[in-house]
Amino acid sequence: MRADLTNKTKQILLGSLLGDGSLQKQKKSINALFRERHALSQKSYILWKVKHLEFFDIKYKSGKRLDKRTNKYYFFIDIWSKTHPILTNYYKLFYPKGKKIITHKILDQIKLLGLAIWYMDDGYFRNESKNIKLGTEGYTFNENKIILKWFIEKWNINPTIHKDRKNYYLFFNTEQTNKLLKIIVPFIPRPMIYKLGHFHPKNLEQINNAYDKRRKRENKRYYNLMKDSKYRKKRKENQKKWLNNSEHRKKYNEYHRNWYKRKKEKLNREKAVFTDIDGTLITEIPHINNPDDVKLLPTVGESIKSLNNEFLVIAITNKSSIEYGYSSKENLLEIFKRIRRELLKYNAKIDAFYYCPHSEKNNCPCRKPKIKMIFDTLKKFKKIDLNKSWIIGDKTRDIQLGINIKKRYNDFKSIGILTGYGLKDKEFNAKPDYIVPNFLEAVKIIKRRLINLSENRCPKCNRKLQHKKVGYVCKNWKCKNYWKLGKGKVIIPTEVI
């Protein structure tokens, strides 16, 4: 047994006492002992505590008990220490009248490690909404106020006190959750990684699944309520009352205006621009692995912003470096996040990222220039019309992908840009529909063609199209473009040269 109590052991003890741990003092004994119980599923976390609290000669034992309410067995693991004078001092601090309390004197001793232990014991991360509930139901309302004040003053975190029947607990919204998790991440051991939520990549799939389930549940509840005629009547009556209030009416009108705008944007965005990443959006670095190396090429941010209103922008890339071991999927996802952050500076966004992690040896169907990756995007974005879509890239494999799609969809266009490899890789003997010096010029061509089609003009020479039995014909003998047009909208544009 060591002579001195280290700061680390002290913080683990204090955090445990604020959480699930307790101190007990029997009638005949002079000193107190430490005891804690957890579910058997948290055995690895408990053993981690046993290792770091060896100063108090901790022992552990697993067992089971019958829960009479559910008639099921509850498996648990108990840890307890020998009696010790240091524990007696803490007993006097936490249990002055035989019941656990929280005071400013106790909270002032808590540091980041102690806060992390308290969160691991009593904290609950909600995957559905990315919020945290800190289970302080064992403390009174005044004690919860003390904890709240301590969080604000010491950590600049502002939770709220919520009531659950007769008890109170602390609730952290998404913003405050991010602040809390950010400061305690380095102190969370491996067995409790699941409590880090979206701050750890292993939890992302679970969070997404929980969010989808929540949305389905809410939709079902809403549709079931709307079937009830009494509920609909009450809803209309309440709505009339709210609309009499001028402030509420303004908010109501603003909400619906924005909703209709978003709906129109979704309906209009049937067209997509598929773009390569390395050498097209960002500087070309072979086997890029570090998010700090991400640098947008000039004019890319402004160009994508101008596309966002009318086109879906989807990034597609080959990443054989994952299979070869030069980089990992986690690093690649971080690179995608960094690109999104850089584009946000221009109020631009990429709607989705798709990548193939396999090498050429595997003959993978999703690796460019094969077309599977494009068709994978159609599973999520079902309204995309490939006849109105484009692909932009700096390599011949991107152009070859466009040609392969064009065999099925005649009006799918490809643009080669002279940044990055600048179509000099000679992997495929493929010629794009257009060659431009940079991304901005590519977007100008896309925009020009879009405007020309809507005004019945030739997209190549910008002249008005002449109506004939075949369709609309360009007067310029060099173009000879024929367009089959419907009521002011292009149905099937076809080129006959």
Catalytic residues: 276, 278
Both tokens assigned to 284: 């070309």
Say which residue the tokens 């309520």 belong to.
225
**Cα separation of 373 and 385, whole Å?**
15
Residue type, 343: L
Do residues 196 and 325 touch, judged by C-beta distance below 8 A?
no
Burial of 173 (0-12, 13-18, 19+ CB in 10 A): middle
Say which residue the tokens 């901790």 belong to.
58
Do residues 16 and 117 touch, judged by C-beta distance below 8 A?
yes
**Cα separation of 163 and 169, whole Å?**
6
Residue type, 180: L
356 forms bridges with which residues in the sheet? Answer: 318
Edge to edge, the sheet with strand 271-275 lists 352-356, 311-318, 271-275, 390-393, 413-417, 434-436
State the Cα angle at 194 between 193 and 195, rounded to 5°.
90
Say which residue the tokens 């101190």 belong to.
23
Cis peptide preceding 369, ω within 30 of 0 = yes
Do residues 291 and 325 touch, judged by C-beta distance below 8 A?
no
Q: Which helix (H) or strand (E) holds 283?
A: none
Burial of 377 (0-12, 13-18, 19+ CB in 10 A): buried
Q: Work out the end-to-end distance of the chain between its first and last CA atoms, rounded to an integer number of angstroms.
A: 91
Residue type, 168: Y
Q: Which helix (H) or strand (E) holds 315?
A: strand 311-318
**Cα separation of 36 and 304, whole Å?**
56
How long, in residues, is the chain? 497
- Taking the CA atoms of the chain, what radius of gyration do you get in angstroms? 32
Neighbours of 453 (CB within 10 A): 19
**Cα separation of 46 and 80, whole Å?**
11
Residues 16-50 as b/e (b if ≥16 CB within 10 A, e otherwise) read: bbbbbbbbebeeeeebbbbebebeeebbebbebbb
